[in-house]
């Protein structure tokens, strides 16, 4: 039990550290997880890390959460999975709680409000950039290009529900691409 407790503490603290020092989420976290879980702690192998990354890409949720759950489960079963996942979420949860308590007050400071007039613009542009990067990296055929254009057009013109568009596209994918390379 003593051993279990120290493993639980180690899992929680390691993932809390990863959660605290990773900004922007996503792929930045993979290299942190690689450093801690593969190289220094040797909790999982590099190959396992690759498999989790591949699984993460075709399952919902942030990749960092997927990795934490996987490592925790492998080292200490269900309780380990819960503890590692809590660990990675905990720092950002606290930070955002603090931010949201103080943000309204901050906004009354003129210079902060002015700064945020620029920041709001940056957010929209970053989203456009993320989409453009997806286009560039995606190997696509004509049908997939048509899916891109029609989901863009339906979102802009009739405000189609993103969830509905995604479900339709996934079903279309199964029918159109099944058995194809």
Partner 1 sequence: MIYAELFSAFLVIGCLSFGGAYGAIPLIRDTVLRYGWIADDELSYMIAVSESTPGPIMVNLATYIGNTQAGFFGAFLATLAVVLPSFVVILVASSALKRYGGNKYLQSAMKGLKPCIAGIILAVGLQLSMKQCIDVRACLMTAILAGILFAVKISPVKFIVISAFLGVIANLVG
Report the site for partner 1 in 43-62 (rule: CB under 8 A).
51-52, 54-55, 57-62
User: Could you say which of 4, 21, 45, 109 contacts partner 1 (CB under 8 A)?
Assistant: 21
Token pair of 135, please? 């286009």
Distance between CA atoms of 75 and 177, rounded to whole angstroms? 37
The residue among 41 and 90 lying less far from partner 1, judged by its C-beta, is 90
**Contact between residue 101 and residue 92 where contact means Cβ atoms under 8 Å apart:** no
Distance between CA atoms of 91 and 132, rounded to whole angstroms? 30
Give, as ranges, the residues between 73 and 132 that touch partner 1 (CB under 8 A).
Answer: 73-74, 78, 81, 85, 88-89, 91-93, 95-97, 99-101, 103, 111, 114-132
| Collapsed DSSP state (helix, strand, coil) of residue 41 | coil
The residue among 13 and 121 lying less far from partner 1, judged by its C-beta, is 121
**Contact between residue 87 and residue 15 where contact means Cβ atoms under 8 Å apart:** yes
Shortest CB 2 distance to partner 1, Å: 26
Give, as ranges, the residues between 148 and 167 that touch partner 1 (CB under 8 A).
Answer: 148-152, 155-156, 161-163, 165-167
Shortest CB 49 distance to partner 1, Å: 12
How many whole angstroms from its chain centre is CA 35? Answer: 18
């Amino acid at each position: 039990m003593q051993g279990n407790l120290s493993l639980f503490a180690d899992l929680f603290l390691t993932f809390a550290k990863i959660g605290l020092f990773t900004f922007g989420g996503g792929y930045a976290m993979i290299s942190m997880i690689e450093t801690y879980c593969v190289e220094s702690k040797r909790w999982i192998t590099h190959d396992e890390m690759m498999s989790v990354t591949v699984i993460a890409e075709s399952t919902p949720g942030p990749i960092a959460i997927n990795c934490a759950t996987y490592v925790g489960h492998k080292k200490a079963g269900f309780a380990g999975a819960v503890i590692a996942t809590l660990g990675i979420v905990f720092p950002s949860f606290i930070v955002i709680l603090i931010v949201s308590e103080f943000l309204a007050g901050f906004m009354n400071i003129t210079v902060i409000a002015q700064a945020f007039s620029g920041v709001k613009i940056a957010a929209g542009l970053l989203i456009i950039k993320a989409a453009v990067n997806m286009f560039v990296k995606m190997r696509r055929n004509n049908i997939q290009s048509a899916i891109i254009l029609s989901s863009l057009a339906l979102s802009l013109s009739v405000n189609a529900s993103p969830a509905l568009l995604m479900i339709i596209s996934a079903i279309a994918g199964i029918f159109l691409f099944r058995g194809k390379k």
